[in-house]
Amino acid sequence: PFIRNHLKALLTTDQMKKIHRINNFDFYYSSGSYHPPAILAYFEKSVQLYLENKLSFRSWAHVEWSTMEDPLHLIEDFERIVDDAVNKLSFPLICAYKAERMPEYLQTILMETHPYVLMEGDLITSEQYRPLTDVE
């Protein structure tokens, strides 16, 4: 709601119509549990119209890890799948995470799957970043 209200103050009504919101819980738990293939299918369905019509799009994701009940290897698998999709489809993706809510293992996964990281106001290149093609 904060971001939507801020954007309303900056953008016209027509520009606001171009912004589409998907609740992060609906996105990540579209199948009832954190299941990377279902999440990928949900993503593909969400961007299909843009791809078919060769329309550019950007994505901003606010990722909340309120609990760490899901197996961390599933999160790692999904982060690698998303990074591969970003590289293949060439669209900008910004992911926002709260570092204090993540265990060190997950922070390492994120540094390996995100080429750039904004930390304390500085945009840095992740030295740990490994594209999927380097991992396979």
Instruction: Give tens-digit pLDDT for 42-93.
Output: 888 989 999 999 998 888 887 766 555 666 777 888 888 888 888 888 888 8
**pTM tops 0.75, yes or no:** no
pLDDT band at 34 (very low <50, low <70, confident <90, very high): confident
**What is the per-residue pLDDT for 43?**
87
Burial class (CB in 10 A: 0-12, 13-18, 19+), 95: middle
Residue closest to 136 by CA, chosen among 62, 80, 69: 80
**What is the per-residue pLDDT for 17?**
92
Q: Helix or strand or coil: residue 34? A: coil
**DSSP 8-class letter at 127:** T
Torsions phi, psi for 49 (to 5 deg): -60, -40
